[in-house]
Amino acid sequence: MDTAPAPGRLTAVCVVHEIVHVVGGEPGEVTAIDKRQVTGAVEVGVLGLAGDTQCDTAHHGGPPKALYAYADEDAAWWAAELGREITPGLFGENLRTSGIDVGGAEIGERWQVGEPGTGVVVEVTYPRIPCMTFQGRMGEDRWVKRFTDHGAMGTYLRVVVPGRVAAGDLVSVVTRPGHGVRVADVYPTMSAAAGRALLDAAGVGVVALEPELREAADRATARR
Distance between CA atoms of residues 64 and 47, nearest Å: 9
Looking at residue 86, its pLDDT comes to: 98
Mean pLDDT for the stretch of residues 184-211:
95
- Band the pLDDT of 26: cuts 50, 70, 90: confident
Closest CA to 65 of 211, 220, 218, 224: 211
How would you list the strands of the sheet with 48-49, edge to edge? 48-49, 42-45, 163-165
| pLDDT surpassing 50 at residue 212 | yes
| pLDDT surpassing 80 at residue 35 | yes
pTM for the model stands at 0.93
Looking at residue 204, its pLDDT comes to: 96
CB-CB contact of 154 with 181 (8 Å): no
Looking at residue 1, its pLDDT comes to: 44
Looking at residue 3, its pLDDT comes to: 66
Report DSSP state, residue 182.
Answer: B
Distance between CA atoms of residues 154 and 145, nearest Å: 15
Identify the top-confidence range among 18-32, 53-67, 190-204, 210-224.
190-204
The contacts of residue 80 (CB under 8 Å, 6+ apart) are none
Mean pLDDT for the stretch of residues 93-120:
93
**What one-letter code names the amino acid at 70?**
Y
Domain 8-184, architecture per CATH:
Beta Barrel (2.40)
**DSSP bridge partners of 21:** 30
CB-CB contact of 99 with 171 (8 Å): yes
* CA torsion, ordered 59, 65, 71, 75, to nearest 10 deg: 20
Is the pLDDT higher at 54 or at 138?
138
- How confident is the model over 48-84, as pLDDT tens digits? 999 998 877 666 778 999 999 999 999 999 999 999 9
**DSSP bridge partners of 171:** 8, 113
The domain limits of the chain are 8-184, 189-224
